[in-house]
Amino acid sequence: MDHERSGSAQRVGASRYRWHEHDTAPTPPGMPALIEPTDLVLRAYDALHMGLLVVSQEGIINHYNSAYAQLRNIPLGQMIGRPVAELDRRESIQTFLATGVPPAERPVDFEMRRNQETFIPIQDGQQLLGCIVLVHTAAERFPVAALGSRRRPTKSSTPWAAQYSVGDIVGNSPALVRARELAMQAAPVGSSVLLLGESGTGKELFAHAIHVESPRHERPFVPVDCSAISRELLEAELFGYAPGAFTGAVKEGKPGKFELADGGTVFLDEIGEMPMEMQAKLLRVLQERRVIRVGGVTPTPVDFRIIAATNRDLESMVGQKRFRHDLLYRLDVIRIDIPPLRERPEDIPLLLEHAWMRKSQELGIFAVLSPKAMEVLVRYLWPGNIRELMNLVERLLVSVRKQVIGPHDLPLYVKQGLSEGVRDVSSFSLKAVVAEAERQTLEKALQHTQGNRNMAAELVGLSRASFYRKLKEYGLTHDSQDQELMHNFL
């Protein structure tokens, strides 16, 4: 009997989804083929965001979905037909199958992650046929009791709405926990917040979360990238302009970001890139809480909170006369230092899991990382931080068409850029040293040209096609515009 169950489970797991073939009643022309009921159920299992494990009364694994495979870092389908004891070292499932009494729902730790398990009996009358184990990861960020008290971004018709909450800040490392707690302490008050951290560490994520947890959460959250707007347009972008202020202006005039954010929050990203003349005007607005549009004469009262972010050392810039010290005092009321990923390696499995689940659902592609691949990624220093991690996850899911992704499937720069090698350059291969130097040069060129790809390509002496090829190779393409340009040039 056990062998029959095991064999049946293995056949279901191996076949996955099969299209039903009617011998006596073929599918009419133009109609989609029907899916067998069993296969439809399996598809439904894989559509779940939480992990699902099905175990027979004899303790044999009958099925598990893609989410469970990702949570446990096991190959999809490989454990079907095997004893559940190989997965459940705590013997909680075996105890439940023997007694019929489910354990209390509580957080459990496995595979370097904290999860929540729920047991559901499968019964035929009074007979226990097996059980379903549901696994979700709500406890990995906050205790379950606290999770319900956290706000989600307010649904609003305005385009200026925050997109993320504190629940999206993933990690349990001491440095990140301190930053997250300080952000939540800052949220209820109206003081200015200065977010400091390297590029890609999630500064904007913190800004969204602070706004969502603040009394202003129903009002606009207006981001401004100070490095992406030219000097000529930045003033009009921030302050707006009056009718007929300059050639090409909208004849009715246009409100600036400060007016749009009235009652809400203005997020000034890359504040270190703001020109000195604009810093003086920003300081006056922060002091007077009034704006005058470009070409206008009438001041408009505004009420907004400022959150600023930068990857620059503003104190050094003050010493170099490149940043106003009085503006720094206005912005730096509550300072939050966001740690880079290399300083919190214990969070990498959580972040990979979070990114993997999210991208898998977005792309409709389901695969798992092998434990060996996870080890390599934990040792990698992630110079691009979380942005690089998200880029790599999407790249692996799209380009590596396997159910189990191993260390040999990872990009060369990841395998050769491990922490031991980075800290001891003599152990690097020449190819890896050159690759790391190229990557840093590309990043510096982009920073120097304020993100202008064409100018950066000229600066490093590459054609545009070669430049974009290098960006792709080193995981430096992040947005849809980059992807479109890559498509045009490559």
**What pLDDT score was predicted for residue 366?**
80
Give this prediction's pTM.
0.58
Task: Report the 10 Å Cβ neighbour count for 26.
Answer: 10
Q: How far apart are CA 105 and CA 118, in angstroms?
A: 6
pLDDT classification of 105: cutoffs 50, 70, 90: low
Beta carbons of 449 and 457 less than 8 angstroms apart: no
Topology of the domain covering 2-140: Beta-Lactamase (3.30.450)
Residue 26 or 59, more confident:
59
CATH no., domain 342-414: 1.10.8.60
E-state strands within 157-281: 193-196, 221-225, 240-241, 254-255, 265-269
Tell me: pLDDT of 141 over 60: no
Beta carbons of 330 and 283 less than 8 angstroms apart: yes
Tell me: pLDDT of 108 over 80: no
Q: Please list, in sequence order, all residues whose beta carbon lies within 8 angstroms of the beta carbon of residue 61, skipping any fewer than 6 positions away.
A: 9, 53, 54, 55, 79, 80, 81, 82, 83, 84, 87
Tell me: pLDDT of 164 over 70: yes
Beta carbons of 370 and 73 less than 8 angstroms apart: yes
Q: How far apart are CA 374 and CA 394, in angstroms?
A: 15
As a dihedral over the C-alpha atoms of residue 139, residue 142, residue 144, residue 149, rounded to 10 degrees, the angle is: -150
The DSSP line for 32-91 is PPPBPHHHHHHHHHHH-SSEEEEEETTSBEEEE-HHHHHHHT--TTTTTTSBGGGT-TT-
As annotated, the residues of the chain forming the CATH 3.40.50.300 domain(s) are 145-339
56-77 pLDDT, tens per residue?
999 999 988 888 887 777 887 7
Q: How far apart are CA 203 and CA 195, in angstroms?
A: 6
3-state helix, strand, coil in the chain (%, to 5): 45, 15, 40
The answer to which of 91-105, 108-122, 159-173, 415-429 has the lowest mean pLDDT is 415-429
The answer to which of 209-218, 418-427, 449-458 has the lowest mean pLDDT is 418-427
Tell me: pLDDT of 171 over 80: yes
Tell me: pLDDT of 423 over 60: no
- Give whole-number Cα distances, 2 to 58, 62, 65, 76, 458, in Å: 7, 11, 22, 22, 68
The one-character DSSP state at 112 is: T
As annotated, the residues of the chain forming the CATH 3.30.450.20 domain(s) are 2-140
pLDDT classification of 55: cutoffs 50, 70, 90: very high
**What pLDDT score was predicted for residue 427?**
39
Structure tokens at 354: 């979070």
Q: Which helix (H) or strand (E) is 365 found in, with range?
A: none
Structure tokens at 183: 């952000």
285-297 pLDDT, tens per residue?
999 999 999 888 8
Helices 371-379 & 348-363 angle (0-180, nearest 10): 120
As annotated, the residues of the chain forming the CATH 1.10.10.60 domain(s) are 429-490
187 φ, ψ to 5°?
Answer: -55, -45
CATH no., domain 145-339: 3.40.50.300
**What pLDDT score was predicted for residue 2?**
45
CATH no., domain 429-490: 1.10.10.60
**What pLDDT score was predicted for residue 186?**
94
**What pLDDT score was predicted for residue 367?**
83
Tell me: pLDDT of 106 over 90: no
- List of long-range contacts for 122-125, beta carbons under 8 Å, 24+ apart: 122/54
The one-character DSSP state at 91 is: -
Residue 385: which of 254, 199, 149 has the closest Cα?
Answer: 199
The CA angle 154-198-186, to the nearest 5 degrees, is: 40
Alpha carbon distance, N-terminus to C-terminus of the chain: 58
Q: How far apart are CA 489 and CA 479, in angstroms?
A: 16
Q: How far apart are CA 116 and CA 136, in angstroms?
A: 5
Tell me: pLDDT of 121 over 60: yes
136 φ, ψ to 5°?
Answer: -135, 165
